[in-house]
Every structure is written in C-alpha cells, then in structure tokens.
C-alpha cells in the first residue's frame, strides 16, 4: 500500500502539480514533504505528518523551510 501511495504522489508531482502552478508556502513542497515523510516513517505516521503539513499550508501560517523531522 505504501508503494502505491508514493507512486500516486509522484504522479501528482509530475502530471497534476505543474498545471496548477506553485502555491506551496513551504520548502520542500507539501507533496515532496509527504513523499519523504511516508518513505521515512511509514504510511500511518508519515501520512499524519503529511496531513498536518498540508493543513498548515495556508495564509495563517508563516511557511518557509520545514524539513521532515
């Protein structure tokens, strides 16, 4: 299941994201953060970290450099 999710993220990065333009407030981008978090921590813990990151990607949060920890 983890491999499928990672493949979906890569598909999004290559096919969907370029047509939407750059909107992420963070570096690395939210999709790259999700890929790294899931790769490193597994589907559950990494998925929770990725979800929390996406929820923070809005004008109420400062943004900037936020690596996977």
Whether the pTM exceeds 0.75: the reply is yes
SS3 42: coil
Instruction: Evaluate if residue 31 carries a pLDDT over 80.
Output: yes
Residue 23 has pLDDT above 90, yes or no: no
Q: How far apart are CA 28 and CA 66, in angstroms?
A: 7
Other CB atoms closer than 10 Å to residue 38's CB: what's the count? Answer: 22
């Amino acid at each position: 299941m983890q491999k499928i999710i990672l493949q979906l993220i890569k598909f999004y990065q290559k096919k969907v994201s370029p047509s939407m333009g750059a909107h992420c407030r963070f570096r690395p981008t939210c999709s790259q953060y999700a890929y790294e978090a899931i790769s490193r921590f597994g589907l559950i813990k990494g998925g929770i970290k990725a979800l929390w990151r996406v929820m923070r990607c809005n004008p109420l949060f400062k943004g900037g450099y936020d690596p996977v920890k």
